[in-house]
Amino acid sequence: MLLVVPEFDRVRFDVEAYQEGGVMRKGKLQPKAQWTFNYLAPLLAQVFEREGRDLPYYLVGHSAGAQFLGRMAALYPNEAKRMVLVNPGSLIFPDRDQAYPYGFGGLPDELASDTALRRYLAAPLTLYLGTGDVGLKDLSTGKRAMRQGPTRIERGRNCHEEARQLAETKAWALSWKRVEAEGLDHGSRPMWEHANCRLAILGEVAEETSK
């Protein structure tokens, strides 16, 4: 497996540019060409050129990176085999009741129509959540964020449940999965080392190794 780790530094990428994908700037919709999501295509092109062939790829992000990928899954279709959101602080819920970046509200119809929502539910998205991720450090606690749930684990579960209910009501396909790491908090390294990490990314159960 080839691991590619781009850095979105805090100097050039504030919350609107990174976690929210550059879609909005001070409440105003930005041209698609200015969205931060656009960095994906040239990055993949460079990797494929160096490797001499196109490769299947997975997109994985933790915390702020998980927020970025979640909104990418909603608004920027791509060919990732799976997009894995690890302990996101907030998500874009599949509804128009919440305004972006928490939902599809306020976005133009081409981005928030039933077709767009259906495509979002069909995205190969996995919510990989630590069940002990209940701390408030670096967690958005504004009114709109708290509407999604008081903790990260609850926000992830609530988003998945809303997607499940919408898919059932509309008779749409739901490709989302939810995988949990029992007892783990927000730290990233324990999430990567947990037995369920392989399940979250590749859909495979890790083999037990003899000691």
Q: How far is CA 199 from CA 7, 84, 202, in A?
A: 25, 11, 6
Question: Which domains, from first to last, does the chain contain?
Answer: 57-202 (3.40.50.1820)
| CB neighbour list of residue 31: distance below 8 Å, 6 or more residues apart | none
Between CA 72 and CA 79, with CA 78 as vertex, the angle to 5 degrees is: 135
Over residues 117-132, the pLDDT tens digits come to: 999 999 999 999 999 9
Tell me, yes or no, if the pTM score tops 0.85.
yes
Over residues 57-101, the pLDDT tens digits come to: 999 999 999 999 999 999 999 999 999 999 999 999 999 999 999
Say if strands 82-86 and 58-62 run parallel, antiparallel, or are unpaired: parallel
